Every structure is written in C-alpha cells, then in structure tokens.
Amino acid sequence: MVIAKYPSVCLPLAFALLLCLAVSTESQSYGHGGNQDQIRADDVQSRWCIAKPSAYNFELLRNIDYSCGQNGVDCGQIQPGGGCFRPDTAFGHASYAMNLFFKAAGKHPWDCHFNGTGIVVTQDPSFGTCTYPL
C-alpha cells in the first residue's frame, strides 16, 4: 500500500483539504441575502491583525523582520520617533508590523497566522498617537 509506505505524501493533501474547508466555512458564515457583498466589505474593513499576548519575543521579532521586509509595508511608525515606537516592546512593534502585512496581503484570515502567533481582532487596537491603518 502506497500510503503506508510513504505517509508524508498525505500531509500536503490533508493541509490542502483543511484550507479548503476553512475557506468554505468562512464564506458560508456570511449567510444569504441581497446585502451579502456589503456585509463582507464591512467585515474586512473592521479587522486588524495583532500579536497574541502568549507569543514569545523571539517569534515576535521574527514577525517584525518578515512583515517589514515585504512590499507595501512601511514600518517607519515603529522606528524611534515614530508614532507607534512607544511602548518600545516586541509585542507592540510586532502587532503594528503584522497588521501592516495583513492589510497589504488582502486581510485574509491566513494572512494573520504567523505560525500561530497572530490573531484577528475586530476592535481597533490604535492608541494615543499610534493609529493602526484599516
């Protein structure tokens, strides 16, 4: 039997199946009706990606490096003197950078995964002089 001999062949197929199921489940959760496109547009506009408080600093620093290295992501606000530099923490900087990547990538749920260290929220995480873009 091929599967018993090569179990790693099934892993990509299982992942693809789970991804399809997740996308299908999300699209069904919007319901049916004439204003379905409006609901989706509003839902996408009111979502931000932030770091999970339980994430380790080394993971968050990796997320900052990755996010800030992508096209369409300007991390100037988390640099010294920027509106989101304070508090100078890995959590704060990673949350801002991860949200910029999330926005640039299209705001899909998988754009906030970051190896399990990101979470999508519906409450604006902006504070003081730090404004998280939609």
Residue 53 and residue 18 share a domain: no
Percent of the chain scoring above 90 in pLDDT:
65
Residue 122 and residue 64 share a domain: yes
Residue 68 and residue 119 share a domain: yes
Domain region containing 20: 1-32
Write out the chain's pLDDT in tens, 134 residues. 444 555 554 444 444 434 444 443 343 333 334 444 443 555 557 999 999 999 999 999 999 999 999 999 999 999 999 999 999 999 999 999 999 999 999 999 999 999 999 999 999 999 999 999 98
**Is residue 37 in some structural domain?**
no
Distance between CA atoms of residues 68 and 73, nearest Å = 6
Rg of the chain over all Cα atoms, to the nearest angstrom: 18
Cβ partners under 8 Å of residue 56, min gap 6: none
**Is residue 6 in some structural domain?**
yes
pTM: 0.68
Q: What is the pLDDT of residues 71-100, one digit of tens each?
A: 999 999 999 999 999 999 999 999 999 999
Residue 133 and residue 71 share a domain: yes
Q: Tokens 């749920």 correspond to what residue?
A: 109
Residue 52 and residue 10 share a domain: no
Residue 46 and residue 28 share a domain: no
**What crossing angle do the helices spanning 90-105 and 57-68 adopt, rounded to 10°?**
40
Domain count for the chain: 2
Residue 112 and residue 47 share a domain: yes
Q: Which amino acid, 113?
A: H
Residue 26 and residue 75 share a domain: no
Q: Is 130 helix (H, G, I), strand (E, B) or coil?
A: strand
Residue 49 and residue 23 share a domain: no
Residue 1 and residue 19 share a domain: yes
